[in-house]
């Protein structure tokens, strides 16, 4: 085969592989994003359930529990930094 034809074939194959890899990476990133979103939603639901339990236990509105938690977390962060 002609050297020029071989180079064109190599470049064509490289380009095709590159496009396939880009598509696979994009698909994998999308899958990971979906998994993370689902996990964050699950964790958020669990936290909200605990907040509801605490609110019922101490007979206070949920926002009081959320605010108390935010203040506590803020203090911990301030102490660490």
For the stretch 20-59, pLDDT in tens is 999 999 999 999 999 999 999 999 999 999 999 999 999 9
pLDDT score recorded for residue 62:
95
Say yes or no to pLDDT of 67 above 90. Answer: yes
* pTM of the complete model: 0.64
Name the pLDDT band for 2 (thresholds 50, 70, 90). confident
Burial class (CB in 10 A: 0-12, 13-18, 19+), 45: exposed
The secondary structure of the chain, three-state, reads: CCHHHHHHHHHHHHHHHHHHHHHHHHHHHHHHHHHHHHHHHHHHHHHHHHHHHHHHHHCCCHHHHHHHHHHHHHHHHHHHC
Tell me which residue has tokens 């605010």: 67
């Amino acid at each position: 085969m002609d050297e020029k034809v071989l180079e064109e074939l190599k470049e064509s194959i490289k380009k095709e592989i590159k496009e396939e890899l880009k598509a696979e990476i994009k698909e994998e990133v999308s899958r990971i994003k979906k998994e993370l979103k689902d996990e964050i939603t699950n964790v958020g639901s669990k936290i909200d359930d605990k907040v509801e339990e605490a609110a019922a236990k101490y007979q206070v509105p949920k926002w009081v529990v959320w605010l108390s938690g935010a203040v506590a977390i803020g203090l911990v962060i301030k102490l660490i930094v």
